[in-house]
A = this chain, B = another copy of it.
Amino acid sequence: MIQHIVNYAGIAVLAASGAVVGIRKGFDLFGIAALAALTGTGGGVLRDLLLGVDPPTSLQRWPDVTLCVVVSIATTVFARLVIKLTQLVLVLDALGMGFFATSGAAISVDHGATWFAAALLGIVSAIAGSVMRDVVARDVPMVMGPDDMYAAPAVLGSVLYVLVDHVGAQWLGVVIGSTVATVLRLAAITFHWRLPTGPYELIAHEHRERIEQRTSNA
- State whether B203 touches A31 (Cβ < 8 A): no
Q: Which residues 144-172 in A have Cβ within 8 Å of B in the complex?
A: 144-147, 149, 151-152, 155
From B23, B55, B60, B207, A198 is in contact (CB under 8 Å) with B23
Interface residue count for A (Cβ, 8 Å)?
Answer: 75
- State whether A60 touches B113 (Cβ < 8 A): yes
* Shortest beta-carbon distance from A174 to chain B in Å: 20
Contact segment of A4-12, A44-52, A91-99, A177-185 = A44-52
Instruction: Mark interface residues in A22-61 (1 if CB within 8 Å of B CB, else 0).
Output: 1111111111101100000000010001111011100111
A114 to B64, CA, bound (A): 14
A175 at interface, CB cutoff 8 A: no
Closest to A208 in B: B24
* Shortest beta-carbon distance from A79 to chain B in Å: 5
From B24, B55, B83, A51 is in contact (CB under 8 Å) with B55
- State whether A34 touches B195 (Cβ < 8 A): no
- State whether B49 touches A143 (Cβ < 8 A): no
List 8 A-B pairs, Cβ < 8 Å. Answer: A23-B203, A28-B194, A32-B197, A55-B113, A59-B113, A59-B121, A62-B114, A192-B218
Residues of A within 8 A of B (CB): 19-20, 22-32, 34-35, 45, 49-52, 54-56, 59-62, 65, 75-76, 79-80, 83, 86, 108, 112-114, 116-117, 120-121, 131, 135-141, 143-147, 149, 151-152, 155, 192, 194-200, 202-204, 206-207, 210, 217-218
